[in-house]
Amino acid sequence: MNKLVATGKTVEDAVNQGLARLSASRDQVSVQILSQPSKGFLGWFSREAKVELTLQAEPARGDSLDPNKAYASTQDEAATAVEVPDASETEAAADRAPAVSPEAAKDNDPFEEAVSFLIETGKAMGLSITVHVEHGHDQTTLNISGDDLGMLIGRRGQTLDALQYLANIVANRYADRYLRIVLDAENFRARRQKTLEGLADRLAKQAVSTKKEVALEPMPASERKIIHARLQNHAAVKTYSKGDEPNRRVVISSRRS
């Protein structure tokens, strides 16, 4: 065995466990960090660090080997984002959520339960929020308002997405059919869409001018969909996705490359 994947509470723990299993020292392996540890949001989506260790061929005489070089470089590049399930996973999780009694489901409105959950979560975060329910044809939007909502939205909407996932689970415990809930705060969804569409336009120009593929950073499925939709009728570029979740990304390439 010259390669294995190890996990641990920290990257260092994972590396040490892998070294023990390989019976190797740090200078005998290269390390690729597959994922950083994350406690997730409110204890949900927690994950351990995951690394891949590969035994190195013994360096030729006179060669120098920095035992920390590969480890340090991959650590800098590792993603630290909260891992948020996509819509299909949300629906599956809602189906697996513990059911309540028919009496409780009958007496409790699913959307009121989701709103109560959000308000209580806001209080736990030190925020005073209000939630407006807007029913649509195939989804219901819960619009959150209040002061200092940056903490609730999170970096690029990651905390908002995590809350949306949980709100769907809460609501569907009290529903007799699958309900789709979208969370918004301070019109974040529209602003984020505009940002992504502008990014798609700029990178499309880059792909055309350089005749080279342009790979975007990893994005959740909902954001990749915005990029694809923006460029689907573009005459000079095409898009596709590559990689596995949570590192799946959009690639833009020139049709003439």
- Is the pLDDT at 50 greater than 90? The verdict is no
Q: What is the pLDDT of residue 106?
A: 58
Q: What is the pLDDT of residue 15?
A: 85
For helices 158-172 and 87-96, the axis angle rounded to 10 degrees is 40
Q: What is the pLDDT of residue 253?
A: 95
Average pLDDT of the chain is 80
pLDDT digits (tens, 9 = 90+) for 6-48: 888 888 888 888 888 878 887 788 888 887 776 555 555 456 7
pLDDT digits (tens, 9 = 90+) for 230-254: 999 999 999 999 998 888 999 999 9
Among 138, 148, 144, residue whose Cα is nearest residue 163: 144
Cα 32 to chain centroid, rounded: 20
Is residue 6 within 8 Å of residue 51, measured between CB atoms?
Answer: yes
What percent of the chain stands above pLDDT 90? 47
Pick 54 or 90 by higher pLDDT.
54
- For the chain, list the domains and their CATH numbers: 3-77 (no CATH), 87-186 (3.30.300.20), 190-254 (3.30.1370.50)
Cα–Cα dist 14/136, whole Å: 46
